[in-house]
Amino acid sequence: MSDTETPEITDSHCHLDFPDFANELDQVLARAEAAGVTRMVTICTRLRQEPQVREIAETHASVFYAAGTHPMSAAEEPMATVDELLALASHPKFVGIGETGLDYHYTADTARVQQDSLRIHIAAARETGLPLIIHSRAADEDMARILAEEYRNGAFGCVMHCFSSSPELARAALDLGFYLSMSGIATFPKSKEIREIFAAAPLDRVLVETDAPYLAPPPHRGKRNEPAYTAHTARVGAEVFGLDYADFAARTQANFDRLFAKAASWRAAA
Start-end of H helices in 135-270: 140-153, 167-175, 192-200, 230-241, 245-259, 261-269
206-208/132-137 β-pairing: unpaired
- CA–CA dist 119, 115 (Å, integer): 6
> CA separation (Å) from 98 to 86, 136, 209, 231?
12, 12, 15, 24
To the question of whether residue 13 is assigned a binding role by annotation, the answer is yes
To the question of whether residue 135 is assigned a binding role by annotation, the answer is yes
Comparing CA positions, the residue from 158, 186, 187 lying closest to residue 174 is 158
Question: Identity (one letter) of the amino acid at 106?
Answer: Y
Beta bridge partners of 37: 9
Angle, alpha carbons 176-130-102 (nearest 5°): 60
To the question of whether residue 99 is assigned a binding role by annotation, the answer is yes
- Residue 41, SS3 per DSSP: strand
In contact, 68 and 38? CB cutoff 8 Å:
no
To the question of whether residue 211 is assigned a binding role by annotation, the answer is yes
Please report, in range form, the residues annotated as the binding site.
13, 15, 99, 135, 161, 211
Please report, in range form, the residues annotated as the binding site for a divalent metal cation.
13, 15, 99, 135, 161, 211
